[in-house]
Amino acid sequence: MSVDKKIVADLVNNKVEFVTTVPCKQLAGVIDEIEKCPDIYHIPSNKEDEGMGLCAGAFMGGKRPAIIMQNTAIGVTINTLVTLTQFYRMPLPMLISYRGEVGEPVACQVEMAVHTKALLAQLNIPTYHFHHEDDVNELDGILAHAFMSNKPVAILTDASFWKGY
């Protein structure tokens, strides 16, 4: 099974039925699989904080949500993560493409990469870093953990994980 298909299978296995996405080159394959998946309502959002609002609503409406986005979005969404997702204690798995790590061709991406883990740590968000392809095997447990704990959870997926996309 490809990594993209495995990620979507794990989402479905964890009853995630509502996924919002803001695209990234590294995430193109998984976003395609989300769009094709009949068990998931895929709702592209225009900005990641908007997406987190959609996810909060879907969760309260009874559907497990997830967001797929780039690490630059951490800079966009701190207020939403703190005053909506965390303040109201809602679960939110965040599958994040970790741009700016080794293998990155775009220098500007490194500027946000160096802040990504520090910001997530400051927010007390459980954070997992997928570097090797096999790391994807942890996803099923991480998703269960997010819904058990009612917390946002970050899964950072770097260029090595995506084999340089």
Partner 1 sequence: MIRSDVLKSLIPVISDHLVVCNIGLPSQEMHMLDDQPNNFYMLGTMGLASSIGLGVALAQSEKVIAIDGDGSVLTNFGTLPTIANNVADNFILLIIDNGSYGSTGDQPTYAGMKTSLAAVATACGCETVIECQAEDAAETVQAALDSDKMTIIVCKCQSGNIKVPVIQMDPVVIRDRFMKEIQARNG
Q: Which residues bind partner 1 (CB under 8 A)?
A: 18, 41, 43-47, 49-63, 65, 79-80, 82-84, 87-90
Q: What is the four-CA torsion angle of 87, 89, 95, 97, rounded to 10 degrees? A: 20
Smallest distance, Å, CB 145 to partner 1?
19
Smallest distance, Å, CB 38 to partner 1?
16
Judged by beta carbon, residue 2 or residue 79, the one nearer partner 1 is: 79
Residues facing residue 96 across a β-bridge: 69, 156
Judged by beta carbon, residue 11 or residue 113, the one nearer partner 1 is: 11
Smallest distance, Å, CB 160 to partner 1?
32
Among candidate residues 133, 130, 165, 107, the one with its CA nearest the CA of residue 153 = 130
CA quadruple 23, 24, 28, 29: dihedral sign: negative
Judged by beta carbon, residue 76 or residue 136, the one nearer partner 1 is: 76
Judged by beta carbon, residue 42 or residue 131, the one nearer partner 1 is: 42
Smallest distance, Å, CB 65 to partner 1?
8
Tokens 């964890």 found at? 14
